[in-house]
């Protein structure tokens, strides 16, 4: 049985982890801008720089998928990289218009289109690959400062997170749904704000459900890892 003091300590640690998760979400959004800035600064020529300036992060990821798997169709890109079919179709059309990728039609199947990276697109693809190699090197240097036990905990926590269905945790604790008919709180001023609030609360409920399965020692590890990985500045 959990003592009251230990229970409150665990609740406090869970709150700290949830706050860290919120900050991580913000950090990932900022890093998209940082990646774009790195690509612009390291473009091999003005033409590539101009094209990169016009491309979204999703366009860069679709180009990377095509460069890795070419020749490849839209369905394969969608399945292997988690993009919706509509997104792939929209993005590939834009990339073809900019002559960054080339469509290839099969002689016996005019409906299926395969994509290859054009000569112009190869410069952007190689630049994007170089950026990820730089990120991998930086991440490796960063993680070297952790012990094997700490790294094993990180792997364990991340794999559990990837497999977890946190919606099921709602039956073990309070739900964000209130009122009859499953109505959500009325504080939201419009539909967009309401949907955003619901999404955030659902994510928090899921996280809480997973964190409740950890003991105080593991929660302290989780907090320490999050602080070191995401909220401590280090010089390269």
pLDDT tens readout for residues 80-97: 878 888 889 999 999 999
User: Under CATH, which number does the domain 43-128 receive?
Assistant: 1.10.10.10
Distance from C-alpha of 156 to C-alpha of 82, rounded to nearest angstrom: 23
Q: What pLDDT score does 236 carry?
A: 47
Q: What is the mean pLDDT of the chain?
A: 77
Give the count of beta carbons closer than 10 Å to the beta carbon of residue 178. Answer: 11
Residue 215 binned pLDDT confidence (cut-offs 50, 70, 90): low
**Cα(first)–Cα(last) distance of the chain, in Å?**
46
Distance from C-alpha of 94 to C-alpha of 188, rounded to nearest angstrom: 36
Which of 95-99, 151-155, 197-201, 225-229 is predicted with the least confidence, judged by mean pLDDT?
197-201
Phi, psi of 136 (to 5 degrees): -60, -40
Say whether 174 sits in a helix, a strand or coil.
coil
Q: What pLDDT score does 188 carry?
A: 46
Task: Report the pLDDT averaged over residues 118-147.
Answer: 92
Give the count of beta carbons closer than 10 Å to the beta carbon of residue 107. Answer: 5
Q: Is the pLDDT of residue 187 over 60?
A: no
Q: Is the pLDDT of residue 3 over 60?
A: no
Residue 173 binned pLDDT confidence (cut-offs 50, 70, 90): low
Q: What pLDDT score does 81 carry?
A: 79
The domain ranges of the chain are: 4-39+146-230, 43-128
């Amino acid at each position: 049985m959990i003592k009251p003091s230990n229970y409150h300590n665990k609740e406090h640690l869970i709150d700290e982890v949830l706050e860290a998760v919120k900050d991580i979400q913000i950090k990932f959004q900022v890093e998209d801008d940082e990646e774009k800035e790195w690509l612009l600064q390291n473009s091999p020529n003005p033409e590539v720089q101009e094209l990169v300036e016009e491309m979204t992060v999703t366009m860069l990821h679709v180009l990377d998928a095509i460069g890795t798997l070419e020749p490849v169709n839209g369905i394969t890109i969608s399945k292997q990289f988690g993009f919706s079919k509509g997104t792939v179709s929209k993005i590939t059309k834009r990339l073809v218009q900019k002559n960054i990728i080339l469509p290839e039609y099969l002689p016996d199947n005019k409906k299926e289109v395969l994509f290859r990276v054009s000569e112009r697109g190869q410069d952007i693809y190689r630049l994007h690959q170089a950026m990820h190699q730089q990120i991998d090197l930086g991440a490796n240097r960063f993680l070297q400062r952790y012990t094997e036990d700490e790294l094993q905990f990180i792997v364990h926590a991340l794999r559990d997170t990837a497999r977890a269905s946190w919606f099921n945790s709602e039956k073990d604790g309070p739900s964000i749904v209130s009122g009859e008919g499953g109505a959500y709180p009325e504080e939201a001023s419009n539909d967009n704000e309401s949907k955003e609030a619901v999404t955030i609360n659902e994510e928090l409920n899921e996280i809480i459900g997973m964190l409740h399965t950890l003991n105080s020692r593991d929660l302290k590890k989780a907090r320490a890892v999050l602080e070191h990985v995401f909220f401590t500045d280090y010089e390269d």
